[in-house]
Amino acid sequence: MALAARSYKDANMSAPSPVASVRSIVLPAPERGDDLQVRISAPVVGVDLPVIVFSHGFGSSMDGYLPLTDYWAAHGFVVIQPTHLDSRRMGLSEDDPRRPSIWRFRVDDVKRALDNLDVLERSLPGLAGRVDHSRVAAAGHSFGGQTTGMLLGAQMVGSEGQEEQDMSDPRISVGVLLAAGGLGGKDLSAFAAEHLPYLNSCFSELKTPTLVVAGDNDHSPLTVRGPDWFYDPYYLSPGAKALLTLFGGEHMLGGISGYTVTETTDENPERVALVQRMTWAFLRSTFYSGDPAWRDACDALMEQPNLLGQVVCK
């Protein structure tokens, strides 16, 4: 039986679609030292599908964060997941000369994936011709949030206080920052200031529409502040449109990094489900002006008997 084509914009997204996925697609990257490996996932039906490029947290890979990426793909997105050089499976030694520039390689990985979107599209049987190349989002968690922030316009501040080069990508029209670090400088811990200078972030040039997601119990060793450090991308950028604060949420936001992960300290399936719904709704309504998904999701959040979080908007 033939499946009728339908556009993402017009589809009834209340029911998830089956998802197809191909992993370990190799994109040549000679200057990187190791070729880039990528996973791509998409619903098996639908046309005009928008794209999310997802940047994983430190040590993870293209196979991480399936609670999020599976959900997005099942609800109408093409999801691209590069494996960055800091992934544990890459096995970089501590003295690898690429380590000081690992943050830059990450940004380049996302851009390389977008440069090769046609290649990735053809790598998944049945996907070619069904992708909307004009609607591209970037999302990332933790270190991946820092990577995504730079693609959205955030910049690193140099040792003499000057902002470094703009590494944003105009192809990306909306972003989601999940537990992404805040302001650098005096707000960084001594360890972060010494070993992770690329966290010296500034958000004044982040002008791309963005949803910031943070937990109000996320205490990080990278900052001398508390969980409010993770709110900075919202309050200090002109582009961030909404902040979703998860009550009781810690750094893994209930367990978004995997179905069977061990690093989650605040395991909470309802919290993960909330992140799934709210991120999807924000992306959908931002991509399609007038779509009520975000408004409806915010209303539904406030109507829950056990409030899991709150949203503030600019």
Alpha-carbon span 222 to 236, nearest angstrom:
19
Residue 301: its pLDDT value, please?
95
Alpha carbon distance 200, 259 (integer Å): 32
Letter for the amino acid at 259? Answer: Y
Give the bridge partners for 254, in sequence order: none
Residue 161's CB: how many other CB atoms inside 10 A? Answer: 9
Nearest by Cα to 64 from 76, 52, 82, 50: 82
Q: Note the pLDDT of residue 8.
A: 52
Distance of CA 100 to the CA centre of its chain: 22
Q: How far apart are CA 289 and CA 287, in angstroms?
A: 6
Distance CA 283, CA 106 (A): 22
The C-alpha angle 194, 144, 166, rounded to 5 degrees, equals: 75
State the Cα–Cα distance between residues 254 and 141, nearest whole angstrom: 13
Q: C-alpha distances in angstroms, 58 versus 87, 217, 227?
A: 7, 20, 19
pLDDT digits (tens, 9 = 90+) for 227-249: 999 999 999 999 999 999 999 99
Q: Rounded to an integer, what distance in angstroms lies between the CA atom of residue 27 and that of residue 169?
A: 19
pLDDT by residue (tens digit) across 101-122? 999 999 999 999 999 999 999 9
What's the mean pLDDT in 303-312? 93
Contact 238/208 with Cβ under 8 angstroms? Answer: no
Q: Flag whether pLDDT at 277 surpasses 50.
A: yes
Cα angle: 153, vertex 163, 239; to 5 degrees = 25
**pLDDT at residue 279 greater than cutoff 60:** yes
DSSP letters of 137-190? EEEEETHHHHHHHHHHT-EEB-TTS-B------TT--EEEEES---B-GGGB-H
Residue 295 tokens read as 């408004």
Q: By percentage, how much of the chain surpasses pLDDT 90?
A: 87
10 has a pLDDT exceeding 50: no
The rounded distance, in Å, linking the Cα atoms of 61 and 274 is 23
Name the residue type at position 10.
D
Would the pLDDT of 211 be above 60?
Answer: yes
The CA distance from 229 to 189, in Å, is 12
Please give the domain boundaries of the chain with CATH numbers for all domains: 19-313 (3.40.50.1820)
Task: Please check the confidence at residue 152 and state whether its pLDDT lies above 70.
Answer: yes
Q: Is the pLDDT of residue 47 over 80?
A: yes
SS3 278: helix
Cα dihedral 279, 231, 218, 300, rounded to 10, equals -40
pLDDT at residue 12, rounded to an integer: 41
Per-residue pLDDT at 161: 57
